[in-house]
Amino acid sequence: MTQAPLTSVDDVFAPHPPARRALIERMRLLNVALLLALIGLCLCWELWLAPLKGGTGALAIKALPLTFAIAGMLKHKLYTYRWMTLLIWLYFTEGVVRATGDTGMSQALAGIEVTLSVALFTACATYVRLRLRVLPPEGKAARKAALKEEA
């Protein structure tokens, strides 16, 4: 039996209490802000601030995979947050490599990239965890009553 796709944001929040709904929405906004900051950093770094010597700025294309996540994050697509937690490690790795190998402005920008990557990973993982957590059962009495109804 397949589950019907979610049709609105209200369907996303239906199983969650109001306090968690507000927290989920704040986490979504944080994720989008961190994602846009990382995209902006990638573009500015490779086009204006510290492009590779003799380069054409073509390395700025590294921001393209990040742009695919914007729509999914804005629509509360859980799948987008899940694959973003995997993709972000590529940016973390690039930041670590360039922070240890480059000098000057590029090294500082790489440190910022590492920080943004870790923050985005943490925010995405937190969002997924909040969304997957459902209301706990009401207790043993409620479970017993449910079992009696089934029998």
Span 55-87, pLDDT tens digits:
788 889 999 999 999 999 999 999 999 999 999
| 60: containing domain | 16-150
In a domain, 66, yes or no: yes
- Give Cα separations from 145 to 17, 22, 76, 149 (angstroms): 23, 32, 35, 6
Quote the DSSP letter at residue 104: T
In a domain, 64, yes or no: yes
> What is the per-residue DSSP string for 2-22?
PPPPP-SHHHHHTTS-HHHHH
pTM for this predicted structure: 0.82
For the chain, the domain total comes to: 1
In a domain, 86, yes or no: yes
Q: How many residues does the chain have?
A: 151
In a domain, 95, yes or no: yes
Query: E-strand spans in the chain?
Result: none
First to last CA, the chain: 23
Torsion of CA 53, 103, 84, 65, to 10 degrees: -10
In a domain, 7, yes or no: no
pLDDT at residue 147 above 80? no
In a domain, 84, yes or no: yes
In a domain, 5, yes or no: no
In a domain, 2, yes or no: no
If pLDDT is split at 50, 70 and 90, which confidence band does 142 have? low
